[in-house]
Amino acid sequence: MATIRFNQVRLTGFGPYRETCEFTFSDQLNVLVAPNETGKSTLVAGVSALLFGLPQTTDPKVFGQARYRNWDHPLRFEGELIYTVDAERYRLRRDFQNNQISFAKQQAGEYRELISGTHNPRAQRRNQRYEETLKALLGISSQELFEATFCLTQPLPEAEEIDSRVQELLSGTGVGFKQVTERLSGELREITRFTGRRGVTAKDAIEPRALERLEAEIQAIETALERDKGLVDQLETYRRHLAEEEQRRTELAQTLATREQMLTLWAQWQQLKKSYQAAQVVYTQVDKSKAQAQELDDERRRVDERKATCAWGPQAPVRTAEILSELEAIAEQKADLSREIAELEANGVTDIQEEEAQNGQEDHFTLDWSVFGLEPTAVVQRRRNQSQEALTAWADWEQLKAATAENSLLQEEEFQLFKDAAPATLETLKVYEPRQALLRSALENATLKWEQAEEELRKLRGRAKLPWVLSILMMLIGGGLGAFLAGGSRLWLFGLGGLAFGAGCGYLAGRLLFPTTGLAQAMERVAENGSQMKVAAQALSTFEAVLQPFTEQYTDLPTAYRRWEQIRTEGEDLARGQREFSRRELGGYAGPAEECPLEPSHRLNDHWSDLINFIQVIAPQERLGCLGELVVWLQEKSSRGWEGLIDEAAAFEEKSTHFNKMKVRQEANQEYLAKQKRKQSELTQNEEKLQAMIEPLLKAADGDYQQAGKLWATWQELKQKAEETTAALRHILLIQGVNTLEELEAKRDDASIKAQALYGERQKLISAHPGLAPLEEETDPEWIEADYRRRQEEITRGQAELKGVEAEIHRLTTEIARLEGQEPVNIAQAEEEKAVLRARRQSLELRGDAVTIAYLELAEALNDFQSSYRLRLAEAASQYYRDLTGLEGRRVELNEDFQVAVVIDGRPVAPAQLSYGARDQLYIALRLGIARLLAADTVLPFVFDDPFLNCDAERLAKIGSSLRLLGIERQVILLSHRADFAAWGEAVVVAPGV
């Protein structure tokens, strides 16, 4: 039994380990405590990648180089594993980039290389030597099997069924049994195809095998013997049948030829009839086109005669209708403009008279309101609103100043101690309650651990005395027994020997029955836990000393701190409010707000600046030097004073608006009058230009635009009629493929002659073949078409029948030739050959039965073998499960498919019905049970990667005890983020940046 222990792991460029990082392990329980996401799981993956290889992948989700190569892409991407198999030490180096390995063994203090080269886990040509060596040393050569058996990761998988590869590894039936059963089933498949019926394979084969081929040969010989007996009778029957079929073929050929000739004549008659009908249709169409063309030509001559009466028509432009419409519109526009110009000139005289009357009146205003623009009323109203906003902001400032003084006084009178405290002290006060509880809890935990270690040390010291007590007892018993056996001779010699022998046996039995291993470790734990208890007590004392002044002054320190935080925050908010007021209202003025100068350089808020400028206009006698004086002026300004200003501004605005509107209206009227006169002149010029374009038409209509429009519409109708008639005539000639009416008449004559010729040719065909006369007399086209299809079907049936007869003749000829060329078999020789084949068939049947029995017996033996291993695994897992849970009444069971169940009070329970913590304990127990069974061949290290997520303190205590016991018999590596696991075993030595 080989025991494997990992001594050292070194990783470079792997996962988070950009630089070289080295891990050193002890022989028993190793503990590596580190925060999450710092590379604990990567360490497990690194060990697996070193042993079994790291595939070259591009998917970061799967186990491969894309997932574990460091993001910074350092120059080196490699690792080294040093492990011990019993007393022999080995070193494995692997370059993950190119899968180069170097496997060496330590001899005489130096490593000598045993295997080197490339080991790619996904290559088609595997490195057989390395994998066989790995299998021989570790007992397994599969990464998946290693992780499924000896690595417990987070979260633990569901323990519903044992992995199939682990089943093979447990029972030892993986490869050997498959080779034997495959060889037996392959041998049986060579004998017969009916392996499914014998229970060896799932179903029978399709192709015949040796036994079925022998059966076919025997059947062929028996068939040949029966066949040759009636060979002569069969040949005579074939010859007589052949003569009958040849006579039938001759008759069918004559009948088919007659029908085919008749069908050809029928088709020729039908073609002539269709051609005549087509020629008749062409003649009818050409004759109709000739009549239509003549009528159109007459209509065109009549239209041309009417057009000749309108001499002005050809000279009129195309857009004459548009010109007439424009002339009518211009006439209407000129009439409208004349009326509008007269009204505008009358309105201008009225406006001048009203302006002269208004200029004679006098104004009575106290201010020159024109400085405020066109809307002085809105300006005054805005300044009044700004005055209210400014006074409201000033009131807020006074409240803010009073609140700030009150806050400062409260801090000085009640919370001066907090105010003078250092920032670190304030941070401590912030977490006073949880920090005090944490320190007290740490002291209690350290005291409890120290007491537990003292109790354990006391028990070990008591156990160390038992071997000496048993030695003294056995020494007395051995001395008495020696003296009793010696009798009288050499009493002292036998007595002394009995004393020595008894003492030795007693001491040895005491050491075996009451081992005292772990005494030194227990003393170290007592000392270590005592030191931790002192450190915790000192930390609590220091914490209470620092906060003593506060606890003496304040009975409820957390409430006082929260009150101080609230007051301090309020003070800071008030200070920010003052700074915000200074920035927003005073432009950042740092002095007292009342003394802020009203100069433009201080960039006061817009409402202050606007109010200052407004006061300088309405009260130029006021001399305001600072913001306080401005506030006093605004406070003294009454609502009546503001209303008086608004009324006077409104009166000024009303008069000014009326005057401006009248002025604007006068200017607009004059401008519009000039524009309309220009438009009238432009219309006159345009009218004259348009009249010149259609002058002949206007003369014919005596200058009347409406009469001219009627004449133009008549001309357009005649012109369109002529174009339509000419186009229709051209279309008829184009369809008939001619250029003139004379050519169209000649084409009509040709069509008539062609139709008469086709009719005469059809009559000649009927005279030559009277059988076509019924077709000529028949008027129903459907009957004619049905008769034609009937004749076609008769010919098709005749051809098919003739083809069948010829095929039968060919078959009979072939059979006759075959029978005439055959030689009868040798009856005696055939009987002898059949006997030999039957003997061979019997031998193969016996061999097949033997192979079937061997296969079935081997399968049954395998089931018994696996059943014993299932019982042993269930017993081992049950013992571990009881140790982990502390419940003696529970056991683990495995059925034939290795499905897992827990028996509680005689009732089987599926793992899914257990709590998460109980399921984790069950899975750990199964892993430990599997490891115990495999320890008969190879004892591999156990790796626990933070798997105890669902365990409470009680379960963790039992698991810790089990792991310490497990660490005595094999190496255990525990990786976790929990600091309390560090006391379970020895710390892993981590050397970064080696």
Q: Which of the four pLDDT bands, split at 50, 70 and 90, describes residue 111?
A: very high
Q: Is residue 168 part of a domain?
A: no
- pLDDT value of residue 110: 92
Where residue 223 falls among pLDDT bands split at 50, 70, 90?
A: confident
Q: How confident is the model at residue 864 (pLDDT cuts 50, 70, 90)?
A: low
Kindly calculate the radius of gyration of the chain based on its CA atoms and give it in whole angstroms. Answer: 62
Q: What average pLDDT does this structure show over 506-514?
A: 61
Is the per-residue pLDDT at 368 higher than 70?
A: no
How does residue 390 score in pLDDT terms, banded at 50, 70 and 90? Answer: confident
* 196 belongs to a structural domain: no
Q: Are residues 15 and 136 in the same domain?
A: yes
Q: Are 822 and 231 in contact (CB under 8 A)?
A: yes
Residue length of the chain? 994
Q: Is the pLDDT of residue 20 over 50?
A: yes
Together in a domain, 511 and 613: no
The DSSP string of 858-886 is HHHHHHHHHHHHHHHHHHHHHHHHHHHH-
By C-alpha distance, which of 83, 914, 517 is closest to 924?
Answer: 914
Whether pLDDT at 557 is above 90? no
Percent of the chain with pLDDT over 70: 83
pLDDT confidence of residue 777 = 55
923 in any annotated domain: no
* Same domain as 270, residue 409: no
504/591 same-domain check: no
pLDDT at position 989: 93
Give the confidence band of 105 by pLDDT, cuts at 50, 70, 90: very high
Of the listed ranges 328-332, 697-701, 809-813, 840-844, the least confidently predicted one is 697-701
CB 235 within 8 A of CB 822: no
Question: Average pLDDT of the chain?
Answer: 78
Give the tens place of pLDDT for each residue, 480-496. Answer: 666 666 655 566 666 67
In tens, the pLDDT along 722-732 reads 888 888 888 88
List the beta bridge partners of residue 117. 101
Residue after which a domain boundary falls, among 553, 579, 598: 553
- Position 875 in a domain: no
The better pLDDT of the pair 129, 912 is held by 129
Judged against a pLDDT cut of 80, whether residue 602 lies above it is answered with no
What integer pLDDT is reported at residue 39 of this predicted model? 86
DSSP readout, 218-287? HHHHHHHHHHHHTHHHHHHHHHHHHHHHHHHHHHHHHHHHHHHHHHHHHHHHHHHHHHHHHHHHHHHHHH
Q: Is residue 900 part of a domain?
A: no
pLDDT of residue 171: 45
User: Between 76 and 786, where is the model more confident?
Assistant: 76
Out of 46-60, 219-233, 401-415, 834-848, least confident range: 219-233
**Residues facing residue 899 across a β-bridge:** 161
Give the pLDDT of residue 173.
46
d(CA 812, CA 814): 5
What token pair was written down for 245? Answer: 């079929």
Mean pLDDT of 392-409: 80
| Weakest mean pLDDT among 418-427, 533-542, 963-972 | 418-427
Measured in whole angstroms, how far is the alpha carbon of residue 874 from the centre of its chain?
42
pLDDT of residue 972: 92
What's residue 946's pLDDT? 79
Contact partners, residue 372, CB within 8 Å, separation at least 6: 379, 380, 617, 649
* Res. 103: pLDDT tops 90: yes
pLDDT classification of 36: cutoffs 50, 70, 90: confident
Same domain, 506 and 583: no
Residue ranges making up the domain that contains 125: 2-160+939-992
The per-residue pLDDT for 827 is 59
Return the bridge partners of 3, or none: 939
Which pLDDT score is estimated for 25? 95
The pair of structure tokens assigned to 914 is: 């257990």
**Rounded mean pLDDT of 828-842?**
79
Residue 848 lies in a domain: no
Q: What pLDDT sits at residue 834?
A: 79
pLDDT score for 195: 81
Give the per-residue pLDDT at 808: 86
* 177 in a structural domain: no
Nearest to 606 by CA among 398, 392, 390: 390
What mean pLDDT do residues 50-78 have? 88
Q: Residue 688 carries which side chain, given as an amino acid letter? A: E
- Given a cut of 50, whether residue 334 has pLDDT beyond it is yes
Q: How confident is the model at residue 993 (pLDDT cuts 50, 70, 90)?
A: low
| Token pair of 40 as six digits | 């604990």
Integer Cα distance of 145 and 564 in angstroms? 63
Q: Is residue 346 part of a domain?
A: no
Asked if 942 and 146 touch (Cβ cutoff 8 Å), the reply is: no
pLDDT at 93 over 90: yes
574 and 450 together in one domain: no
Q: Check whether residue 459 and residue 598 sit in a common domain.
A: no
Q: Give the CB-side neighbour count of residue 717, counting CA atoms within 13 A.
A: 7
Q: For residue 160, report the phi and psi dihedrals to the nearest 5 degrees.
A: -85, -35
pLDDT mean over 242-257: 85
* 443-452, 685-694, 769-778, 969-978: least confident range: 769-778
- What pLDDT was estimated at residue 857? 66
Same domain, 568 and 494: no
Q: Are residues 730 and 762 in the same domain?
A: yes
Q: Helices (H) and strands (E) in the chain — how many of each?
A: 28, 16
391/441 same-domain check: no
Highest-scoring range by mean pLDDT, 11-20, 190-199, 227-236, 566-575: 11-20
pLDDT of residue 863: 63
- C-alpha dihedral (856, 858, 863, 866), degrees to nearest 10: -160
| Distance spanning both ends of the chain, measured CA to CA | 35
The answer, yes or no, to whether residue 323 has pLDDT greater than 70, is yes
Output the pLDDT for position 175.
44
Q: Who wins on pLDDT, 227 or 454?
A: 454
Query: pLDDT value at position 91?
Result: 95
In this structure, are 441 and 399 located in the same domain? no
pLDDT digits (tens, 9 = 90+) for 749-775: 888 888 888 777 777 777 777 666 565
**Average pLDDT of span 188-197:** 82
Higher-confidence residue of 321 and 939: namely 939
Instruction: Using the 3D structure, point to which of 637, 663, 696 is the last residue of a domain.
Output: 637
**Same-domain check for residues 443 and 573:** no
For 781-822, the pLDDT digits (tens) are 677 777 778 777 888 888 888 888 888 888 888 887 877 676
Mean pLDDT computed over 598-621: 72
Candidates 302, 321, 317; CA nearest to 712 is: 321
Tell me the CATH number at 124. Answer: 3.40.50.300
Take residue 699 and report the two structure tokens written for it.
């003369």
For residue 924 the two structure tokens come to 């750990």
**pLDDT tens sequence across 401-430:** 788 877 788 877 777 777 777 777 777 777
Of 637, 658, 673, which marks where a domain is finished? 637
Q: What is the mean pLDDT of residues 28-49?
A: 90
Instruction: Report the pLDDT value the prediction gives residue 92, as an integer from 0 to 100.
Output: 94
* pTM attached to this predicted model: 0.37
pLDDT tens by residue, 269-319: 777 777 877 877 888 888 888 888 888 888 878 877 777 777 777 777 877
**Confidence band for 582, pLDDT divided at 50, 70 and 90:** confident
pLDDT recorded at residue 159 = 46
| Dihedral (CA of 32, 38, 40, 43) sign | negative
- Number of structural domains, the chain? 4
Least confident range from 29-33, 214-218, 790-794: namely: 790-794
Band the pLDDT of 867: cuts 50, 70, 90. Answer: low
